Amino acid sequence: MTASELTMPSRRALIGGASKTLSVAGLAMIVSGCSYAAAPTSAGATSQDVEILNAAIALEHEGIAAYQIAATSGLLQPAVVEIGVTFQGHHKGHRDLLIKAVEQLGGTATEEQSQDHYVEALGVASLKNQEDVLRLALKLERGAANAYLGLIPSLGNDFHQVAAQMAGDEAFHAAILASALGESIPKAPLMFG
Amino acid sequence: MGTKASTWVGIGLTTTVIGGILLANGSQSQQQTRHVAGNVAEIAPSIPSLALPVTMAAASNHAAAGKKLYQAKCGACHSLDKNRVGPRHRNIVGKRAGTVSGFRYSNALKKSKLTWTAKNLDAWLANPSKLAPGTSMGFRLTKADERSAIIAYLKSVSRKAK
């Protein structure tokens, strides 16, 4: 069994269960007073949201793992570890919100992969010092801010605001990392998206 | 950090702490070139050359601009040689969709029967779920010039496209 087989057990079930998804989502709304699926949506739109939100969960899993690997790498000074752990906490918060949203839509959230998978996927072996680690973090955070903004037009209305909020958090992280790395402030507006 | 004001002071301190540590470590980062996540025009001074007759140099500049854009826009989910949130991209141009080994695709993409020509890639990046309804890639790139630069870059790292 490959690592990716482990992580996305739900996908086939989701596609097959699209019509079931809607009624489960409707039920979840009634039971929990859900703030997401306020308006009735088609089954296709709901399962599309589940797919996209699950990709965002996979992105958050990777970000959380990246900060974990960084914090335990021995390459970072204690003060930097502390900041990284705070940023990691934000990503855990995103992950939890996204998991809740997927479950409220009747889907199954994507699970995280093994630590070994992330070490390999992120090319951790080539990181030699603190600056390398911060550059990787900046690349991931900048990419994540752009990713969330690019997801908005594909997501249902109920998720536009939360995706923008997450993009805001990632942009905040990116700004601090860029500043720490001595990058100059971009002159032009609309830096992300 | 209870109040807004103290939060902002905290950010200043945070930045100073990391920056200070980097400087103390003899960081070269001040000399790095400016890197902006945004538009092609900002990060790729070579783009105006597209207005000139197309030359090899212009084409490779286009791909170079595309590389930066690729890292900024696609880099949270993709890389050339590793399957991450999305599949790896080396040799993607000319490839059948949904066939990178070891990646678990949505049924939508697996069954799409698409081949990644420049034209299909352009439609995909503009709106993936229009091309393959039910796909797990939701990211859209609205600017045509950015799509074109990224596709030029993907061609430059694909055997079949040369």
Considering the domain boundaries, does residue A26 fall inside one?
yes
Cα–Cα distance, A53 to A60 (Å, whole number): 10
Give the domain extent around B69: 21-156
Kindly state whether residue A192 falls inside one of the protein's structural domains: no
Closest CB from B32, B34, B137 relative to A55: B137
DSSP conformation letters of B77-108: T--SSS-SSS---TT-TTPBTT--TT----HH
- Within 8 A by CB and 6+ apart from A175, the residues are none
- pLDDT tens by residue, B50-70: 454 556 788 889 999 999 999
Distance of CA A119 to CAs A56, A115, A125, B6, B49, Å?
19, 6, 8, 36, 40
At A61, is the secondary structure helix, strand, or coil? Answer: helix
Picking from B31, B35, B57, B33, the residue whose alpha carbon sits closest to that of residue B46 is B57
Indicate which CATH number applies to the domain containing B34. Answer: 1.10.760.10
What is the structure's pLDDT at A141?
98
Domain membership flag for residue B5? no
Inter-chain CB proximity A174 and B127 less than 8 Å: no
Query: Each residue of A91-137: pLDDT tens digit?
Result: 999 999 999 999 999 999 999 999 999 999 999 999 999 999 999 99
Contact A15 B107 (CB under 8 A): yes
Look at the block and give the residue holding tokens 């951790």: A124
> And the tokens for A35?
């703030």
Q: Tell me which residue has tokens 């594909």.
A: A154
Whether B9 maps to a domain, the answer reads: no
Interface list for B 87-116 with A (CB within 8 A): 102-104, 106-108
> Is B37 part of any domain?
yes
Band (A1; pLDDT cuts 50, 70, 90): very low
Q: Quick check: A48 and B131 in contact, CB under 8 A?
A: no
What's the gap in Å between the CA of B135 and the closest CA on chain A?
A: 7
Q: How many domains does chain B have?
A: 1
The closest alpha carbon to B22, from A83, A143, A66, A118, belongs to A83
Taking only the tens place, the pLDDT of each residue in B113-150 is 999 999 999 999 999 999 999 999 999 999 999 999 99
Which residue on chain B is closest to A192 by alpha carbon? B38
- Cβ <8 Å between A131 and B71: no
Instruction: Indicate the helix (H) or strand (E) that contains A178.
Output: helix A160-180
Name, in order, each residue with C-beta under 8 angstroms of A181's C-beta and a sequence gap of 6 or more: A131, A134, A135, A138, B22, B27, B29, B32
Which chain A residue is nearest to residue B81, measuring alpha carbons?
A: A121
Q: Do residues B54 and B118 lie in contact, with contact meaning Cβ atoms separated by under 8 Å?
A: no
Domains contained in chain A, number: 1
Q: How many Cβ pairs within 8 Å bridge chains A and B?
A: 167
Nearest CA in chain A to B80: A121
Residue A66: both structure tokens together: 């990246």
CATH number of the domain residue A176 falls in: 1.20.1260.10
The whole-angstrom separation of Cα B48 and Cα B43 is 12
B 123-142: CB under 8 A from A:
127-129, 133-142
Region of A182 (left: φ > 0; alpha: ψ -120 to 50; beta: rest) is left
Residue B27 has pLDDT above 60, yes or no: no
Q: Chain B residue with minimal CA distance to A153?
A: B140
Q: Which residues pair with B115 in a beta bridge?
A: B96
pLDDT digits (tens, 9 = 90+) for B85-119: 999 999 999 999 999 999 999 999 999 999 999 99
Record the tokens describing residue B148, joined without a space: 């074109």
